[in-house]
Amino acid sequence: MTIKEAYQFTRKKLREIYSEAEADAIALSLFNEIYTITKTQLILQADEVFEREDHLNQSLQSLMAGAPVQHLIGYEYFGGMRIKVNSSVLIPRPETEELLEWMKENTSLSPGVVADICTGSGCIALYMRAQSERWQVYASDVSDDALKMAAGSEQEIFGNNRIHWLHHDILNTAWEATWPDMVICNPPYIGREESELMTPNVMNYEPHLALFVDDADTLLFYKKVIEVFSEGQFPEIYFELNPLTVGGLEEYCTQRGYKIKTGKDMHGKIRFARITR
**pLDDT tens digits in sequence order for the chain, 277 residues long:** 999 999 999 999 999 999 999 999 999 999 999 999 999 999 999 999 999 999 999 999 999 999 999 999 999 999 999 999 998 999 999 999 999 999 999 998 999 999 999 999 999 999 999 999 999 999 999 999 999 999 999 999 999 999 999 999 999 999 999 999 999 999 986 665 555 555 555 555 556 555 566 666 889 999 999 999 999 999 999 999 989 889 999 999 999 999 999 999 999 999 999 999 9
275's enclosing H/E stretch is strand 270-276
25 inside domain: yes
- Choosing from 13, 43, 65, the residue where a domain stops is 65
Q: Are residues 258 and 213 in the same domain?
A: yes
The Cα–Cα gap between 108 and 235 comes to 11
- Kindly state the DSSP code that residue 61 receives in the 8-state scheme: H
With 0-12 / 13-18 / 19 or more C-beta atoms within 10 angstroms meaning exposed / middle / buried, residue 160 is exposed
166 inside domain: yes
- Kindly state the DSSP code that residue 31 receives in the 8-state scheme: I
Q: Are residues 96 and 169 in the same domain?
A: yes
Whole-Å CA distances, 102 to 3, 98, 99, 122, 271: 41, 6, 5, 18, 10
- Kindly state the DSSP code that residue 235 receives in the 8-state scheme: P
Q: Are residues 112 and 34 in the same domain?
A: no
- Containing domain of residue 178, as a range? 76-276
228 inside domain: yes
State pTM to two decimals.
Answer: 0.89
113 inside domain: yes
70 inside domain: no
118 inside domain: yes
Q: Are residues 148 and 184 in the same domain?
A: yes
For β-strands 270-276 and 236-240, DSSP reports them as antiparallel
Q: Are residues 99 and 189 in the same domain?
A: yes
Q: Are residues 61 and 80 in the same domain?
A: no
264 inside domain: yes
Q: Are residues 237 and 102 in the same domain?
A: yes
Q: What is the CATH number of the domain that holds 211?
A: 3.40.50.150
| Domain count for the chain | 2
Q: Are residues 106 and 18 in the same domain?
A: no
Q: Are residues 60 and 87 in the same domain?
A: no
240 inside domain: yes
Q: Are residues 14 and 55 in the same domain?
A: yes
Q: Are residues 54 and 94 in the same domain?
A: no
Answer for the pair 3, 45: CB distance below 8 angstroms, yes or no: yes
Q: Are residues 172 and 265 in the same domain?
A: yes
